[in-house]
């Protein structure tokens, strides 16, 4: 049985298989409404302990495109509000025999903990500031589509890197795939260390952007930090908000990404976020569906 907890657990062959299957689904989705019965009769349990628009909805749509049903468990209306523990909650839900569980949680390794107490596949939909494997996979798929390949592409990941699970999973995944990684962040939002070797670090766009193909902006994770770590929004935007002028520092045609939700006028200008040629934000969201279809199909079919 296969879980998807961290990208570091994936072999290059498994990553390629996800990309190939996701691209097949993407092609089919682009040629009209797609429906398959590959997961007909499967029941997917969705457990989101943190808010979400993109990830939760795209898992739902992905599951339904493959014929599965989705059941949402909502912490706010659950017996955890009557002090039931996470373990008792998980064991209770596992006794109902879902075919797979999707988990988002603010605690590091909660998805792995849950995987240890259920007998179905578990997919990590984002935990703490450490891991967001399906976001990294859909980001890498998006870069591959736009650049034609991943090996040798230069990607700068910018902003609140210290508190970003998107950044952490992208470092682990893109490094495995031969991408050259840079980080551009103020000192207060720069991690003390990285899980992979060889990342170039910069504290300004002027130093870090020249030569970059892809500039990935990140939301400031105010919920995961002391507010004193960042200046006010206007001052942050002046130094670390991406605009067309700053993107031009790459010296080539380069593209901007953002996992969303975006704080316009803080991390990125309105104009750049909405630029149909240079912004890949909508493409990232769209790729969430075929990528999560590939993941759901693979983990559900891994159960013998």
88-96 CB contacts, 8 Å cutoff, 24+ apart: 90/114, 90/117, 90/118, 91/117, 93/45, 93/47, 93/118, 94/118, 94/119, 94/120, 96/45
- The smaller minimum CB distance to ligand NCD, of residues 78 and 221, is found at 221
Q: Is 104 a catalytic residue?
A: yes
Q: How far apart are CA 260 and CA 245, in angstroms?
A: 22
Rule CB under 6 A: say whether 135 interacts with ligand NCD. Answer: yes
Rule CB under 6 A: say whether 165 interacts with ligand NCD. Answer: yes
Angle between helices 281-301 and 133-147 (to 10 degrees): 120
Total residues interacting with ligand NCD, rule: CB under 6 A: 10
Closest residue to ligand NCD, judged by C-beta, is 219
- Least distance (Å) from ligand NCD to the CB of residue 126? 4
- Least distance (Å) from ligand NCD to the CB of residue 220? 8
- The smaller minimum CB distance to ligand NCD, of residues 135 and 297, is found at 135
Are 210 and 254 in contact by the 8 Å Cβ rule? The answer is: no
**Element at 288 (helix H, strand E):** helix 281-301
Q: Is 132 a catalytic residue?
A: yes
DSSP 8-state secondary structure symbol assigned to residue 264: B
Q: How far apart are CA 44 and CA 235, in angstroms?
A: 44
- Least distance (Å) from ligand NCD to the CB of residue 102? 12
Q: Is 82 a catalytic residue?
A: yes
- Least distance (Å) from ligand NCD to the CB of residue 251? 28
Residues whose CB is less than 8 angstroms from the CB of residue 273 and which lie 6 or more positions away in sequence, other chains included: 256, 258, 262, 264, 279, 281
261 to 290: interface string for ligand NCD, x by CB under 6 A:
------------------------------
The candidate with the shortest Cα–Cα distance to 279, out of 234, 303, 247, is 247
Q: Is 55 a catalytic residue?
A: yes
- The smaller minimum CB distance to ligand NCD, of residues 165 and 182, is found at 165
- The smaller minimum CB distance to ligand NCD, of residues 249 and 281, is found at 281
192 to 221: interface string for ligand NCD, x by CB under 6 A:
---------------------------x--
198: helix, strand or coil: coil
The single residue of 3, 56, 104, 163 carrying the catalytic annotation is 104
Rule CB under 6 A: say whether 132 interacts with ligand NCD. Answer: yes
- Least distance (Å) from ligand NCD to the CB of residue 49? 12
The single residue of 81, 82, 187, 277 carrying the catalytic annotation is 82
The candidate with the shortest Cα–Cα distance to 294, out of 140, 180, 153, 149, is 140
Residues whose CB is less than 8 angstroms from the CB of residue 129 and which lie 6 or more positions away in sequence, other chains included: 108, 162, 163, 164, 165, 168, 221, 224
22 to 61: interface string for ligand NCD, x by CB under 6 A:
--------------------------------xx------
Instruction: Report the residue from 259, 268, 279, 296 that binds ligand NCD according to the rule CB under 6 A.
Output: 259
- Positive or negative, the Cα torsion across 55, 56, 57, 61? positive
**Could you list the active site residues?**
54-55, 82, 104, 132
Residues that bind ligand NCD (CB under 6 A): 54-55, 126, 132, 135, 165-166, 219, 259-260
């Amino acid at each position: 049985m296969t879980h998807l907890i961290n990208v570091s657990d994936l072999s290059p062959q498994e990553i390629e298989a996800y990309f190939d299957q996701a691209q097949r689904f993407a092609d089919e989705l682009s040629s009209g409404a797609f429906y398959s019965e590959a997961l007909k009769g499967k029941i997917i349990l969705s457990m989101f302990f943190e808010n979400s628009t993109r990830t939760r909805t795209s898992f739902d749509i992905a599951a339904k495109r493959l014929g599965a049903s989705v059941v949402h468990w909502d912490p706010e209306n659950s017996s955890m509000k009557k002090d039931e523990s996470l373990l008792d909650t998980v064991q209770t839900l596992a006794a109902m025999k879902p075919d797979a569980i999707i988990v988002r949680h603010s605690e590091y390794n909660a998805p792995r903990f849950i995987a240890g107490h259920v007998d179905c596949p578990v997919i990590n939909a984002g935990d703490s500031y450490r891991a967001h494997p399906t976001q990294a996979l859909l980001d890498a798929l998006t870069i591959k589509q736009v650049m034609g390949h991943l090996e040798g592409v230069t990607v700068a990941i910018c902003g609140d890197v210290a508190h970003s699970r998107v950044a952490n999973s992208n470092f682990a995944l893109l490094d495995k795939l031969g991408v050259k990684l840079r980080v551009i962040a103020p000192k207060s939002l720069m991690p003390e260390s990285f899980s992979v070797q060889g990342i170039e670090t910069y504290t300004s766009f002027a130093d870090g952007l020249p030569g970059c193909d892809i500039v990935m902006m990140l939301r400031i994770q105010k919920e995961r930090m002391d507010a004193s770590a960042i200046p006010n929004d206007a001052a942050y935007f002046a130094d670390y908000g991406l605009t067309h002028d700053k993107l031009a520092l790459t010296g080539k045609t380069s593209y901007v990404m953002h996992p969303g939700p975006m704080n316009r006028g803080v991390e990125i200008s309105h104009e750049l976020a909405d630029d149909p040629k240079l912004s890949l934000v909508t493409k990232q969201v769209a790729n969430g569906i075929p990528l999560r279809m590939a993941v759901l199909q693979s983990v559900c079919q891994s159960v013998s």
